[in-house]
Chain A
């Protein structure tokens, strides 16, 4: 006799966001050109790239605001382009630019927003989590740019989203305001919220993200933990020192002006060992000896082809 057992469905295997072959063109410009990625539940992923890389276009397609030319998107198991209320009830969106009724107070605005969700967070908790307690009863028109942006975050998180989209949440902030927002975002991540944020600040990606997806010219050029960006771990270590003429000959290196030597290596350890042991044996002075990895910024700039984010 045949027994039908339901296939074991492991809910945790389904990614929060699944994107395959995503493309979108505006006129002859391919804003997003064949993008694939998954975002797992509970992950904090930063989409990093210079202006015009296609970050916002990609994210707004995932949020359901724009229809892709081709490709598949699944958000919490649903197609975001359907703009289904039950999906929108489970996600929070901070747009890069969005308006707000300025005559309302902070508390009124958050309270009104909370009424549209089935599982709203308490008002006071929400205000506190973005640090706007002192502005609670102020009209929104009196808020600074940074405070407004934190209100945007409050409005996006008041519905207890499982998945939160943040499109450049701290662009234009001063460092203190940025730290404040980072704290709030870290708190949400610690509670298990899946977060997708776009940024052109390297530091922001490094501070917040478990994983960074680097986009340039509409395509993904790298993806991985921030520290691995551009294969920093494996390659591109630079050895620098200054040496006199005889020393250079003994070490078999070609010094530049002032005896400066710079050697890039993917496998620096034996090289450093050889150079230093030769130097010790022959009494060669290696002034200013320095072994350094490519900085994250250098790695990033290399990836995006020298287009700086700022």
Chain B
């Protein structure tokens, strides 16, 4: 039997290749967050701290947004599509374990997310004078990778409960964009009503974004315990929902979307 480790590497490579060949996905994942960076920096040049430009706040925040897009949004859409097209059912009929296949999708999405983050920091540094504190980078990266795990689990949970892949993009964006707004990803939350800040703090994105922004801008790196606890808890919720509702069988709503065969026998 082929080892699961080798299969995971092979599946990751395959999914990454597919991602870069799907122009729309690559564009939205890598370019969309950059567009926000450029626009927000042009329109809101002043940040919450008068001594630092807005870019110093918005760049790490959008790096988190980029990671969430690469994992949560892409996995929710691609996995439900793969299910409805019968790709997952084909996998289920082979000795490739489903967990390894999905693991390949998650690792690939995380790698793409790290690329998105790197691009974000690079563009921030080149265009908007973002100052990068190298000693903070390991903790910043750790937060993002942890976040990738949590948001991958949540993405698979959305895919699992989505009735049809056609609904997946709408559902994923309906979740991500408001969540990003109330989590201080596009602008600081400081002026928002207290109840909204409380709600946001209970959701998975705000603790991650805040910890990432603070870590990015600090010289003495503390351990953002609260953010990690939140990520672990939401990761467990995502995984639980995904495991409970996941099916490799195409859902009724998505059946026959592609080239319906004229006959389907019982």
Binding site for B on A (CB under 8 A): 31, 49-57, 63-65, 83, 85-86, 88-89, 93, 95-101, 103-104, 108, 112-113, 115-118, 139, 145, 155, 159, 168, 171-172, 198, 200
Contact = CB atoms under 8 A, between A and B. Distances in A.
A168 B262 CA distance: 12
Nearest to B83: A99
21 contacts: A31-B266, A51-B264, A51-B265, A52-B266, A53-B266, A56-B266, A65-B93, A85-B95, A85-B97, A88-B93, A89-B95, A93-B94, A97-B256, A98-B90, A99-B84, A99-B86, A99-B87, A112-B10, A115-B10, A116-B7, A139-B21
Contact of B261 (A63, A97, A101, A155): A97
A183 B18 CA distance: 32
Nearest to A29: B266
Interface string B94-118: 1111000000000000000000000
Tell me the dominant secondary structure on chain A's binding face.
loop
Contact of A99 (B22, B85, B97, B266): B85
Given A55-B265, A98-B86, A159 B94 contact: yes
Given A88-B93, A112-B14, 19 more contacts: A51-B265, A55-B265, A65-B89, A65-B92, A83-B92, A88-B94, A95-B86, A97-B250, A99-B87, A100-B90, A103-B22, A104-B14, A113-B94, A117-B94, A145-B259, A168-B265, A171-B262, A172-B263, A200-B265
B2 A118 contact: yes
Nearest to B4: A85
A172 to B, nearest CB: 6
Contacts of B256: 97
Contacts of A50: 265
Contacts of B250: 97
A100 B256 CA distance: 14
Chain A CB count within 10 A is highest, among B10, B95, B265, for B265
Nearest to B93: A93
A300 to B, nearest CB: 15
